[in-house]
A = this chain, B = another copy of it.
């Protein structure tokens, strides 16, 4: 039941955004009554937070599992691949995500506490770069800056692809990004 509501909420929030989603629309989409939603969530806001956090934890888990034990170069690749694949599978959520990470839309954003999640998540990823630097594989660049560059690039590429601004297959997205990150765009 809670499952059904969460799923429906994800769909409707994704399509319409937080403010244009009405609670009764989620209820309809979930095939339950409005009152039932309030059995599981204290407010629309709390439901929204749950939608986002559930998915982000899923993504984080997948990424962490994928990079575990890998050498830096390989880890960076699977990180990129995992994110692309995740959002390929989760188009709905991706749109929501684009609205939220780095751009909280709702009041009391502190209740969502996404900043904290994002901080932790990028910290874990930064370890890849730190490891690569230590091992002499990567240049001595600011680790978190590298991660922010990659994740920003990823978001933008995926968004453009979803919106039809660019005509690239997921595999091309991965390859292009990995190529640039690893070796840059200069021919020499």
Q: How far is the CA of A150 from the CA of B185 in the complex (A)?
A: 11
Residues of B within 8 A of A184 (CB): 180-184
- CB closest residue in chain B, given A95: B103
- A84-100 residues at the B interface, CB under 8 angstroms: 98-100
Give, as a whole number of angstroms, the nearest-CB distance from A132 to chain B. Answer: 8
- A135-178 residues at the B interface, CB under 8 angstroms: 136-139, 141-142, 144-146, 148-157, 159-160, 163, 165-166, 168, 172-173, 176-177
Residues of B within 8 A of A100 (CB): 103
Q: Are B186 and A183 in contact (CB under 8 A)?
A: yes
What are the 5 closest A-B residue pairs judged by CB atoms, nearest first?
Answer: A152-B156, A183-B184, A184-B184, A149-B153, A152-B152
Question: Would you list 13 pairs from A and B whose C-beta atoms are within 8 A, ordered by A residue?
Answer: A16-B107, A19-B19, A118-B165, A137-B186, A138-B186, A139-B179, A142-B168, A148-B157, A148-B165, A149-B156, A152-B152, A181-B184, A183-B183
